[in-house]
Chain A
């Protein structure tokens, strides 16, 4: 970045209601929002998720006032959005919608420089900024700057959309199904890339999707909305999965929410269990004795640098002499601390072993991860989450 990144802003919905028809203002009008209150801390991604017509897009558009609330306030960094000049407010909020929102008659470069142009930046600086941002979203400026949107693939257009929203370095970004129009593989790629960009930029982002998996993946916080524009639950994804606040939320996150929780947790989050180990070239008899008294009937053989070589069945450990690499019976998948529990469990099931070997970056042993440990962790966090949501009870999810 050639200039300082603007700090992120807080976004707060304060009892915001939008009803479309005064006479037919009964709950269930598609797009209506009913008494929405939620606060997004600066620098976090808040995902609004829910079935179509639940008011998530309406909520988003009330932030940049494409839709004006019927009642209630939306407060950006302490300032009521309704009191700000409309164009000035919007130029300070990044806005990403599905690919068709690009201007078809402008080159990619001109599209990206839209807000800087509106703000009256000098031409040279507009171009410089556009090129910089194309590089940030992974599009080679020399190759793309002069093209038109129709000449790009769906995924490339989405990237341009993100670059355009970032152009004037807004503290807040609104993203309405930004990765909705691409195939699942490209989408996954764009999601990962966006998370990587966000790690550096730390914008405050409101993100709308109807896809619960995307919500869980992208959100620091997830707001589940339901028909009639009501907030069903608001919290970190792990909490929503562990303790859905209502039947609606439970159904919406799906019967496989246990599996989804696994993908949110990493090996590093779990206390590993120790293994009985011995180095190559040490006394076999001693190792055999130690393995026999341990409930786990295998010895883990390590090399001189503590890197795991493989398992030796307690019955196969020689009674005398020194341990050698050829004594190894079987191996386990190697896991690192960044592996998700979902991937770890999958590897254990694939290899039909009870314990995964967790190693550090150099490959040295850290400990074991067993299926029992994974299950115990899931059980404990589910109970914790349930207790927490009972404590907060009506207060938080009113």
Chain B
């Protein structure tokens, strides 16, 4: 174990950093894009069906196939990897944000309207904060899924820890393969815990039930 770390520690650390960056960009951009899509749906409910259908279709494309399809267009690049990774987050995030908004009590929405919130004020001050628990739940699924998918982007020269794993395969260094897997799983668990914690800090009203 010590031997493994001494010889491959640097490679594992580099892989971890790359993995984090790939995941962070994917979830960040995916979340921003999802918010924009949800805003469109809020403006015109008829867009909900088509937007979710497209996100769902993207979600069903096998990742290997998608990356293979992208390489002739955007090359063996970060952009190719991110296009794929972001696509996969959309369905989860859009659906969860919408479910969160739909879960806001009609009485609360009516009170907000009755007191003179504009549509945008109602969304930002009332509906989105109340949707936070479900939004955070969506972010957790999207993040953990993305951390797994990043491994696959190794086939187009990205991949963070996936690169390390491929190296392990080609050297028949099984210890390295396992090490990359362990680090990846550790990353997924840590990211999930962090999001749970952030969610709790952002929604203090859900914890203080008893007076």
Q: Mark B110-141, 1 if CB is under 8 A from A, else 0.
A: 11111111100100001001101000000000
B42 to chain A, nearest CB (A): 18
The distance in angstroms between the C-alpha atoms of A66 and B116, with both chains bound, is 10
User: Which of A88, A114, A151 meets B209, CB within 8 Å?
Assistant: A151
Query: Is the beta-carbon distance between A118 and B117 smaller than 8 angstroms?
Result: yes
Contacts of B211 in A (CB 8 A): 147, 151-152
Check B203 for interface membership: any CB of A closer than 8 A: yes
Interface of B is mostly: helix
Interfacial residues of chain A within 301-320, with CB under 8 A of chain B in the complex? none
Query: Is the beta-carbon distance between B114 and A97 smaller than 8 angstroms?
Result: yes
Contacts of B110 in A (CB 8 A): 66, 97, 101
Given A66-B114, A87-B117, are A98 and B208 neighbors across the interface (CB < 8 Å)? Answer: no
List the B residue with the shortest CB-CB distance to A118. B116
Interfacial residues of chain A within 85-100, with CB under 8 A of chain B in the complex? 86-91, 93, 95, 97-98, 100
Query: Is the beta-carbon distance between B208 and A148 smaller than 8 angstroms?
Result: yes
Check B210 for interface membership: any CB of A closer than 8 A: yes
B105 to chain A, nearest CB (A): 6
Q: Mark A138-159, 1 if CB is under 8 A from B, else 0.
A: 0000000001111110000000
Seen from chain A, the residues whose Cβ lies within 8 Å of a Cβ on chain B are 61, 64, 66, 86-91, 93, 95, 97-98, 100-106, 114-115, 118, 147-152, 164, 174
Instruction: Give 20 A-B pairs besides A95-B115, A97-B114, A151-B211 with Cβ atoms closer than 8 angstroms.
Output: A64-B114, A66-B113, A88-B116, A89-B116, A90-B116, A95-B111, A97-B110, A98-B107, A100-B107, A101-B110, A102-B111, A103-B108, A104-B205, A105-B126, A105-B205, A106-B205, A114-B115, A115-B115, A118-B117, A151-B208
Q: List 23 A-B contacts (CB under 8 A).
A: A64-B114, A66-B113, A87-B117, A89-B116, A90-B113, A91-B116, A95-B114, A95-B115, A97-B110, A97-B111, A97-B114, A100-B108, A101-B110, A101-B111, A103-B111, A104-B205, A105-B129, A105-B132, A148-B204, A148-B208, A151-B208, A151-B211, A152-B211
* CB-CB nearest 10 A-B residue pairs: A101-B111, A90-B116, A91-B116, A95-B114, A100-B107, A148-B205, A151-B211, A87-B116, A105-B129, A105-B205
